[in-house]
Amino acid sequence: MIKDSIKQAQTYFSLGCDIKKALLYLQQNDLSNTQNGKYEIEQDKIFAIVQDYQTKQKETAKLEAHKKYIDIQFIIKGKEQLGCTHIDNTSISIPYDEEKDIMFLDGNCDFLTAEQGDFLIFFPHDAHMPSLAIDKPSYVKKVVIKIKI
């Protein structure tokens, strides 16, 4: 897992051309007025999902992980807490759904705060719990860029 400000994105360009392309997309596009939905960046290899929501309490959330895609989550507006742990520290609560590329997990994790302008990169070994309220539910607008492995 990587967390940083989008202003520092160039630090991570060496992680690969697809990650570089996704980070450049975030740097070069003002997504604050973009409608919710899926946006193709490079066919089915790289795409963005813009969403807005009210953050949720930890008690109602589950850890998730993916096998086919790397997630880059970028906070457009608001702030939220996210949990993260290595997948080896978890147990499966809902088995992997290949069509949706997601499985849900149980386990303890560390929590961090992400706010407007921050991005996080979650690799397949990173179980993560996004969209959490810090104190009380609040509005967040986010884009999740999916990069096919």
What is the CATH classification number for the domain harbouring 19?
2.60.120.370
Q: Looking at residues 105-117, what average pLDDT do you find?
A: 97
The answer, yes or no, to whether residue 137 has pLDDT greater than 80, is yes
CA dist 131 and 142 (Å) reads: 9
| pLDDT tens track for 20-79 | 999 999 999 999 999 999 999 998 799 999 999 999 999 999 999 999 999 999 999 999
Write the CB contacts of 131 (distance below 8 Å, at least 6 apart in sequence). 53, 55, 56, 61, 80, 82, 140, 142
Among 144, 119, 121, residue whose Cα is nearest residue 6: 119
pLDDT at position 44: 75
Count of domains forming the chain: 1
DSSP state of 35: P
CB proximity list for 57: less than 8 A, separation 6 or greater: 132, 133, 137
Convert the pLDDT of each residue in 81-96 to its tens digit: 999 999 999 999 999 9
**Cα–Cα distance, 136 to 134 (Å, whole number):** 6
**Residue 43's pLDDT is what?**
83
Residue 53 has a pLDDT of: 98
What is the average pLDDT across 101-127?
A: 98
- DSSP, collapsed to helix, strand or coil, labels residue 145 as strand
Q: Give the tens place of pLDDT for each residue, 95-110.
A: 999 999 999 999 999 9
Q: What does the alpha-carbon distance between residue 44 and residue 106 come to, in Å, rounded to a whole number?
A: 30
Domain range for 50 = 2-148
Ramachandran angles phi, psi of 145, nearest 5°: -100, 130
pTM recorded for the entire structure: 0.96
